[in-house]
């Protein structure tokens, strides 16, 4: 139990709250020091002005007596009541010693209050505290109510003033310490409630999230605050949710990769058997059979090649494209022949690619990109049941070639457009895997190109592919 208490105290001493409390006290004390320096100088000035005023009153008592003479007892009483050793009055052309001891005191320092400056007063106060009040000083000033040319000149010991300054300093010190504790406590409680506690909860949430990122209970709780702390809480919550979603997605991808690796070998064997049978079918002399067999052979060859590359796709490393320059129109015709275009669904296929337009790309990979997009378009038209058209066009643009794939379908839902090219984003299809568009984008970027949604609405959906242009735009063979 004692060890636990010491651990808690040790953490509290090293925490932000303890540092905040100490810094607040130090800053308050520093502010009090900055206030004390001019205030102690002001205290000394007021003390001397009071002595000059009292000395002038004593001088008035002497001047009011017959012949300006007073008894020794009255002189001593007036000097003691004024707190000075001697009083002189200076008027233009004259200087009169009104009150004084029989033996003049030795003067250690002289001060003229008429010429006092703020910095000079601070320096004189510091000098008084440093010397300890063991001097006899001479002070000159004008008493209240006297004309400016009547100067009161007094001589007094510095010890009473030094004692008064020490007493004032002690009271200021006690007040400063009390004020420092009060202000520091209030600031500490305010900042602890406004900052330290929310930051502590955010820190605990981060530690819990690090230990178990999949646990939804580790998500930071968001308050209704509109300041920087509230913004940090909201952004942290969004980040945690996105990281958790990314981890779930990576887990799904890992499971998918493991499953694909397991079936890859068996699938290749099945496709190899199908390839042997289609080769025999293609060797038949019937022209109609050959017309159907050749696309089937090409499709099976692409499937075998894809199975060979499956593990590369599972690890996220796409194979480098085997670029060749070929005419784009025949490839689009192959795509059209492979699509499920029935006679009764009303879907019209339009190949508007110029016959002489060639592209430089991996033919099989580009085939996969185009068939993914066109198959989605055909399925969207089939679901709406009203028929329509799927159109493919292409044209050169600068150093690139633009391939446009458009349909007259119902368009993509607004909620899926922002995540259209993300893995497992189904694009609004309930039976889709959400991989087709993501694979198409990766294949296009593998060619240093890109794919983008140009428009989508009730009039249809338009995708555009950007491909590097071939070195020679002349006609190429299929």
Q: Order the strands of the 136-141 sheet from edge to edge.
A: 94-100, 86-91, 151-157, 136-141, 109-112
pLDDT digits (tens, 9 = 90+) for 242-271: 888 888 877 777 776 666 666 665 666 666
Which segments of the chain belong to CATH 3.30.565.10?
Answer: 321-468
- Coil, strand or helix: which one is 156? strand
Number of helices (H) and strands (E) in the chain: give both, helices first: 13, 12
pLDDT digits (tens, 9 = 90+) for 265-295: 566 666 666 666 666 666 666 776 666 666 7
Q: Are the CB atoms for 272 and 307 separated by under 8 Å?
A: no
- Position 81 scores a pLDDT of 84
- Position 1 scores a pLDDT of 44
Nearest alpha-carbon partner for 400 in 449, 444, 345, 355: 449
pLDDT digits (tens, 9 = 90+) for 43-59: 999 999 898 888 888 87
Low-confidence stretches of the chain (pLDDT beneath 70): 1-17, 66-70, 93-98, 101-105, 256-285, 288-294, 302, 304-318, 342-345, 386, 423-435, 469-478
- Position 92 scores a pLDDT of 78
CATH no. of 321-468: 3.30.565.10
- Total Cβ atoms within 10 A of residue 28: 19
Q: Which residues contact 93 (CB under 8 A, 6 or more apart)?
A: none
């Amino acid at each position: 139990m004692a060890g636990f208490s010491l651990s808690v105290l040790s953490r509290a001493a090293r925490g932000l709250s303890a540092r905040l409390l100490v810094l607040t006290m130090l800053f308050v004390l520093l502010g009090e020091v900055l206030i004390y320096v001019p205030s102690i100088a002001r205290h000394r000035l007021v003390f001397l002005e009071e002595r000059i005023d009292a000395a002038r009153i004593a001088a008035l008592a002497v001047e009011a007596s017959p012949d300006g003479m007073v008894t020794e007892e009255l002189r001593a009483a007036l000097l003691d009541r004024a707190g000075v050793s001697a009083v002189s009055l200076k008027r233009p052309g004259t200087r009169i010693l009104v009150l004084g001891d029989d033996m003049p005191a030795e003067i250690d320092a002289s001060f003229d209050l008429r010429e006092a400056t703020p910095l000079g007063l601070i320096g004189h106060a510091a000098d008084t505290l440093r010397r300890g009040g063991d001097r006899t000083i001479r002070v000159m000033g004008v008493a209240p109510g006297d004309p400016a040319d009547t100067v009161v000149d007094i001589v007094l010991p510095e010890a009473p003033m030094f004692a008064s300054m020490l007493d004032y300093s002690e009271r200021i010190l006690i007040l400063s310490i009390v004020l420092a504790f009060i202000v520091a406590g209030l600031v500490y409680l305010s900042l602890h409630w406004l900052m330290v506690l929310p930051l502590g909860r955010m820190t605990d949430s981060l530690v819990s999230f690090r230990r178990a990122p999949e646990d939804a209970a580790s998500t930071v709780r968001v308050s209704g605050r509109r300041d920087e702390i509230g913004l940090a809480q909201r952004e942290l919550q969004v980040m945690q949710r996105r990281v958790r979603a990314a981890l779930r997605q990576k887990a799904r991808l890992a499971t998918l990769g493991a499953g694909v690796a397991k079936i890859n070998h068996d699938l290749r064997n099945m496709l190899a058997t199908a390839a042997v049978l289609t080769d025999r079918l293609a060797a038949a002399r019937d022209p109609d059979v050959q017309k159907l067999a050749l696309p089937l052979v090409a499709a099976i060859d692409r499937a075998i090649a894809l199975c060979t590359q499956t593990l590369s796709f599972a690890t996220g490393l796409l194979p480098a494209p085997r670029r060749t320059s070929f005419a784009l129109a025949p490839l689009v015709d192959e795509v059209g022949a492979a699509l499920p275009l029935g006679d009764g669904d009303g879907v019209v296929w339009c190949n508007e690619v110029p016959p002489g337009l060639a592209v430089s790309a991996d033919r099989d990979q580009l085939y996969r990109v185009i068939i993914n997009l066109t198959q989605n378009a055909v399925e969207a038209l089939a679901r709406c049941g009203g028929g329509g058209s799927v159109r493919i066009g292409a044209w050169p643009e600068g150093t690139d070639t633009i391939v446009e794939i458009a349909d007259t379908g119902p368009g993509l839902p607004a909620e899926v457009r922002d995540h259209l090219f993300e893995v497992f984003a189904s694009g609004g299809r309930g039976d889709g895997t959400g991989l087709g568009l993501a694979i198409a984008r990766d294949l296009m970027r593998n060619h240093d190109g890109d794919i983008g949604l140009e428009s989508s609405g009730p009039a249809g959906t338009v995708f555009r592919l950007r491909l590097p242009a071939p070195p020679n735009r002349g006609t190429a063979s299929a």
